Structure 1
Amino acid sequence: MVADNATALASLHGRVAIITGAGKGLGRAYALALAARGAHVVVNNRRHPGEQDSETSAQQTVDAIRAAGGTVIANFDAADADGAGGRMVQQAVDHFGRIDIVIANAALSQASTFGKQSLDDFMRIFNVGFLGTLNLVHAAWPLLRAQRHGRVIATTSSAGRYGNHGLGAYAASKGAIEMLVRSLAAEGASAGIRVNAISPYAATQMTAGHLGPDVAACLTPDVVAPMVAWLSSDACSANGQVFIAGGGRFRRGFSVETDSVAGSDMEQVAQALADMPGRPHPSSNHAFATLVDELRAGGQIP
């Protein structure tokens, strides 16, 4: 499904992509992969105080792509800055005439227990992860709808599905992204827009110090990039899905609910539910309709 076949490679020729957080790590790997497949790329990474253009990670990625014969420009906005999404989209249109692919990759993770974390620190982490994604996708959305074609890939994490100690802000931003992806997938399908999420496991600056050397050597960003390239291509028909990638292995992630049980003793109800397997629903409407069907089957709704 994600092999580098000729169809996937050809489908990126001349496409225009914006990739945030593309100065290093996963974003850089995505930018190199898309450019190698013929896409024109806007490489975004924030400029740190005191940096000249040539010193930025974004420019270093741009230089690498140009050296390989690719077509690329740099953007130095912070992904969560006011108006950054609109500026990136306008830059893509001004230079390349269109926008086809949005890859929202920028994120910030800082472990801190909820009780010790200030609200400002919580929102700083949340805003980079979620609002940085939201602002860019919102700015690109009218153009994608108007041309009746587009690919949106947002970045999530296992923390967004399961949570983790000390990662409340980061997990909240990623959980919000997954639900945004599922909702926009439903809205964009009729306009030829496919919206999916990538949940990568990779050795990057963000995960440095958390992975042993053997694990880090296996989890290189470049083995995630083929999945993102496929999600960016016309060969991809998947929509509203979460794909987990790491070390050359792939999974699909989704939310599940159990079947319902009836009862008046809530402890017994909770125990019964704990022992039941879950199953996914394609939408919130489907989940509610399933409950109504169960109530009708039980005679509680005539």
Structure 2
Amino acid sequence: MPLNGRVAVITGAGGGLGREHALYLARKGARVMVNDLGLDAAEAVAAEIRAAGGQALALAGSVTDAEAVAALVERTLADWGRIDILVNNAGILRDKSFAKMELDDFRRVVDVHLMGAAICSKAVWETMRAQQHGRIVMTTSSSGLYGNFGQANYGAAKMALAGLMQTLAIEGSKYGIRVNCLAPTAYTRMMEGILPEAQLQALDPALVSPALLPLVVEDAPTRAIVCAGAGHFARAYVTLTEGCYIGAGEDAGERLMAAWRQVSDPTGQVVPDYGFTQAEREVASAQAHAATPD
């Protein structure tokens, strides 16, 4: 029971992947607050956990509603006194090609995925800082990391969650807060019609949830992006190539085109510790070039 004594809040946990997350973390010893838009769905999952001998509560509310999220956090703290784990799982799809997509559908998807995760993370942040312990998991996607036809809104929101993870991990490090991303591939209602039925059957959501465990235990990493589906697990990285110095001048763009292969060469690429690494390398390259006689 590696999560014995820990308290987890899971959004969008009334069905699909969120339900599997809730059942899995409960089996590992966590007390689970099950959140979903519908109370009946959330309570059904909480009842499953209790029937199996675990501890669970259910509370309905949208992750885009800051007051509802605050009530969720208050109820969890009132009953269990702490929040150790937040899994930002709630999400929606409004798939269409960008040419046919209404901007309202773009905003709605970004609102639920990105703003919902930000609202929930903000709501638990001070509690985690005060207890010097916290584990936050953002749900990103290959659609955000690599793109997918018809998912400009979803992909934009999911890539934004990776950026949110990067900064919260840096800001939370001295308070024992570790923040990571999970990129799942699972057969849920959101996946119907996207893949052939035979492939969907291999993508049991239960096969994704074990990816949560290394991200929420005591010695969890931070700033990791874990890709999981069909029992397969991998890591994704945002890297920076070594590049080369081009300098200034009217023909800088043309010289960059000529050096494009060198600029793109992955040999020697790094995973930056923080965003300013890019600026540091650029300035160092310029200074080194200035100090080197032609």
> TM-score if structure 1 supplies the norm length?
0.88
Q: Give the alignment partner of residue 240 of structure 2, picking from 217, 233, 257.
A: 257
**Aligned length, in residue pairs:** 285
Q: Tell me what 1:17 maps to.
A: 8
Q: Tell me what 1:87 maps to.
A: 71
Matches within 5 A, 1:49-198: 53=39, 56-198=40-182
Q: Which amino acid aligns with 2:20?
A: A
For 1:274 and 1:197, the matched residues in 2 are separated by 26
Per the alignment, in what secondary structure is the counterpart of residue 164 of structure 2?
Answer: helix
Contact 1:101 1:232 in 2 (8 A): yes
For 2:291 and 2:107, the matched residues in 1 are separated by 44
For 1:117 and 1:91, the matched residues in 2 are separated by 38
Q: Tell me what 1:268 maps to.
A: 258
Contact 1:203 1:211 in 2 (8 A): no
Q: Give the alignment partner of residue 27 of structure 1, picking from 14, 18, 41.
A: 18
Residues 238-257 of structure 1 deviation map (CA, whole Å, 9 limit, x = unaligned): 01111111122111112122
Q: Tell me what 2:249 maps to.
A: none
Per the alignment, in what secondary structure is the counterpart of residue 43 of structure 1?
Answer: strand
Q: C-alpha displacement at 1:258, in angstroms?
A: 2.0
Q: C-alpha displacement at 1:83, in angstroms?
A: 2.0
Per the alignment, in what secondary structure is the counterpart of residue 50 of structure 2?
Answer: helix
For 1:230 and 1:255, the matched residues in 2 are separated by 20
Structure 2, gaps ≥5 residues long: 247-251
Per the alignment, in what secondary structure is the counterpart of residue 84 of structure 1?
Answer: helix
Q: Which amino acid aligns with 1:240?
A: R
Q: Give the alignment partner of residue 202 of structure 1, picking from 174, 186, 192.
A: 186
Per the alignment, in what secondary structure is the counterpart of residue 114 of structure 1?
Answer: coil
Residues 190-241 of structure 1 deviation map (CA, whole Å, 9 limit, x = unaligned): 11111111111111111112222332222211111112123121132x0111
Q: Which amino acid aligns with 1:62?
A: A
> TM-score if structure 2 supplies the norm length?
0.91
Contact 1:84 1:135 in 2 (8 A): no
Q: Which amino acid aligns with 1:253?
A: A
Q: Tell me what 2:289 maps to.
A: 298
Q: 1:260 to 1:274 in 2, by over 3 A?
A: closer
- Between 1 and 2, higher relative CO (CA 8 Å, sep ≥ 6) is seen in 1
Residues 96-131 of structure 1 deviation map (CA, whole Å, 9 limit, x = unaligned): 111111010001112122332222221111101011
Q: 1:73 to 1:301 in 2, by over 3 A?
A: farther
Q: Which runs of 4+ in 1 moved over 6 A?
A: none
Q: Which amino acid aligns with 2:280?
A: A
Q: C-alpha displacement at 1:275, in angstroms?
A: 5.0
For 1:274 and 1:128, the matched residues in 2 are separated by 35
Q: Tell me what 1:41 maps to.
A: 32
Residues 146-171 of structure 1 deviation map (CA, whole Å, 9 limit, x = unaligned): 01011111100011212222211111
Contact 1:85 1:132 in 2 (8 A): no
Per the alignment, in what secondary structure is the counterpart of residue 107 of structure 1?
Answer: coil
Structure 1, gaps ≥5 residues long: 1-8, 48-52
Q: Tell me what 2:224 maps to.
A: 241
For 1:235 and 1:211, the matched residues in 2 are separated by 36
Contact 1:160 1:175 in 2 (8 A): yes
For 2:214 and 2:48, the matched residues in 1 are separated by 22
Per the alignment, in what secondary structure is the counterpart of residue 129 of structure 2?
Answer: helix
For 2:77 and 2:219, the matched residues in 1 are separated by 24
Contact 1:30 1:229 in 2 (8 A): no
Q: Which amino acid aligns with 1:189?
A: S
Contact 2:135 2:179 in 1 (8 A): yes
For 1:223 and 1:177, the matched residues in 2 are separated by 22
Q: 1:275 to 1:186 in 2, by over 3 A?
A: closer
Per the alignment, in what secondary structure is the counterpart of residue 196 of structure 1?
Answer: strand
Q: Indicate yes or no: 2:272 matched with 1:288.
A: no
